[in-house]
Amino acid sequence: MIRFIAAVSIWLATQQVGMAQSETLRFRSTDAALQTAFDRAKEMALSHRGNPADPVGDWYEAALPSRFAFCMRDVAHQSMAAEMLGLGNANSNMFSLFAKNISDGKDWCSYWEINKEGKPAPEDYRNDDEFWYNLNANFDVMNASWKLYLWTGDKRYINGPEFADFHRKSVREYVDRWVLQPDSLLSRPLHPNAHAAYDDKDSFHRCRGLASYSEGVHDLKMGVDLIAALSRGMQTYADMLRVQGKTTEAATFDKKAEQYRRHIETQWWSEKEDKYFTYYSSKGAFGYTEGETFLLWFDVLKDTTRTRKTIDQILARDWNMENQSYFPYVLGQYGYPDQIRGQILHLTDPATKRREYPEVSYGAVQGIIQGVMGIDADARVNRITTFFNGRAEDTHTIENLPVLQQTISVTESAKTASLANAGRGPLQWRVMFAGKHPFITVNGARRKASQMVVKGSRTVSYLDVAVPADQQVTARVE
């Protein structure tokens, strides 16, 4: 409790102009329990903000709280909620530090964890030959950088000098150095870059290049979550290249992404168990541990039946808090409004153990804004998308949400939605409703709707609407 109060005091003492939005971001709902959950999550998330005067610069905690540090996996997973809470300057600084610290001496890894002193955290780093690193990290950070560009419109995340170098090295030299080509995934050495003095009992030797986020299998040669990260990384890089007009090169990486994805479908599905294997051992055997969550996080599944079975399996078992923190956002991409609500209430319940772990509160914030309210952005076309994914009886409002360098407020229910643009310029709004609706009424005018299928199974009706600066538009279906 003393540490929590101290963290809140630091946050209050270090407010800057860039943080003003975090004071006004507000969620209101007819669901009193969900509103309380958001308020708790927001308070906890902001208590993790570091002091911008620290040597590392602007930052927030994204690791075990006692370390006063941030690691690549956690930052990648907390960054969207951080942006929504007004921590954009911290995101920019932290991502830049990860990108700048990729190096040949570390076999194109960065620092897995950086502390408030601006140093690689000693809990995970001894020197360039001895450190802890999960190989998913480069692609997770790359994908998060892409999402931050789509949300903010800040192209530095995709083509700023340090970012461009990080992305380019990750899909080329990093893949080669760690033997991660599609045809090498099951035959690669267990420790491709082990040094002469390798000591299997030293975790900084054994875990210097873990082929998974799952850390409990001693002889794990490959994790399905790493292959999912590779597929998403290649697809993300292709998308970045397209923004820069490099369509021919982008097509090459599209094909690489599909190679990794097809490898998962052809090699990792167990017909006997009716689920995906999650790791492959040095003994040549497939097995099960963590990993399924990242098939959804990295959005690499296209088989609707297998996807639903994977979600059902995830919901049927207990998970650690890190995995649970992703569920509200991930499930929101596929429906499951009751389960999302249950997950959010669990994550923010004062009785929940490890509730103070930073990923938890950030996951709840993102889960409400993107999982329940379905708010997303695409800077390429200056578009906001909304898609209500709550209970039929509920109405939710998010106010003063920073996005696309503007501020919006959104109110949603199953049949109505409104978007208020408080920014200085116009926005495109793609308003989406579940089901088939021939028409959507916008500010009283009936307009023909379009339909599409999202995530392979949900039919939605949608309409693209221009929302001028300082205007509000309301849409509804019958």
Instruction: State pLDDT tens for residues 126-159.
Output: 999 999 999 999 999 999 999 999 999 999 999 9
- Using 50, 70 and 90 to split pLDDT, how confident is the model at 18? very low
Query: CATH 1.50.10.10 spans which residues of the chain?
Result: 2-372
**Is it the case that residue 16 has pLDDT exceeding 60?**
no
Cβ atoms of 21 and 407 closer than 8 Å: yes
User: At residue 429, what are phi and psi to the nearest 5 degrees?
Assistant: -120, 120
Distance from C-alpha of 396 to C-alpha of 27, rounded to nearest angstrom = 7
Check if CATH label 1.50.10.10 holds for domain 2-372. yes
pLDDT at 267 (0 to 100) = 97
Predicted TM-score of the model (pTM)? 0.93
Distance from C-alpha of 476 to C-alpha of 319, rounded to nearest angstrom = 38
- Using 50, 70 and 90 to split pLDDT, how confident is the model at 455? confident
In sign, the C-alpha dihedral spanning 205, 209, 213, 214 is: negative
Q: With pLDDT > 70 as the criterion, what percentage of the chain qualifies? A: 95
Which amino acid, 231?
S
- Using 50, 70 and 90 to split pLDDT, how confident is the model at 216? confident
CATH fold of 383-476 reads: Immunoglobulin-like (2.60.40)
Query: CATH 2.60.40 spans which residues of the chain?
Result: 383-476
Q: Which residue pairs from 410-413 have beta carbons closer than 8 angstroms and sit at least 24 positions apart in sequence?
A: 410/373, 410/375, 410/386, 412/373, 412/374, 412/386, 412/388, 413/388
